[in-house]
Amino acid sequence: MDFNSLIRCLFSIQNKMRRLILRLHILCILAFALILSGCSHRPMNEPPRIRYGKELCRQCQMVISDERFAAAFSDQESEFFKFDDIGCMRLYQEKNKVIPKYAWVHDYENQAWMEVSKSVFVRSIQIMTPMGSGVIAFSNRLNAEQFANKQGGQIVAWDEVPNFFQNNIDLIKGETNEAN
């Protein structure tokens, strides 16, 4: 084999390697694009997915563990806020002067998400919620009234929710008042 043949052979191998590397780069870019397209974000007008037992309440920092009491909202900047207790969500909104774009609670009976505006709230000291608000939500007013009658509770408006646990407000905020 002469020198010119050797150079042509090397250039041929080099060109084949360049094409192979280019194809691999294109394949990696396509694979990455497919992965990203599969990671679609949840629309902000739909309730978020909560990883029960793993995610923390935005207000009290306790683990969100019971679907019956969980609540969430999305704000104007398209961020989700998740809570372990309906009372925690209401307190967070008041304390931080947040007006949610969308807000949801779970129906106490079937744990389905529903909009706060379409919910009927029951407050009872007999209901043991994670942070002691004693507030639960129903999608049906009749069911809420029946439950309230059985549990010695009452129907409350969304705006009244924080008033029911003012005595527990330090606990819910995660603060303690020590005597000076």
The answer to whether residue 63 is domain-embedded is: no
The pLDDT of residue 12 is above 70: yes
Residues 103 and 166 in one domain: yes
Amino acid letter for position 63 = V
Quote the CA–CA distance of 43 and 65 in Å, as a whole number: 23
* pTM of the predicted model as reported, rounded to 2 decimal places: 0.69
Residues 4 and 88 in one domain: no
H-helix or E-strand spanning residue 80:
strand 80-83
The answer to whether residue 108 is domain-embedded is: yes
Residues 81 and 169 in one domain: yes
| 3-state helix, strand and coil shares in percent for the chain, rounded to the nearest 5 | 40, 15, 40
CA angle 131–114–135, rounded 5-degree value: 25
Quote the CA–CA distance of 116 and 138 in Å, as a whole number: 10
Domain extent for 128: 71-173
pLDDT at site 62: 95
| pLDDT tens per residue across span 133-172 | 899 999 999 999 999 999 889 999 988 876 655 545 544 4
The answer to whether residue 14 is domain-embedded is: yes
- Using the 8-state DSSP alphabet, how is residue 102 labeled? E
Return the structure tokens found at 66. Answer: 């019971």
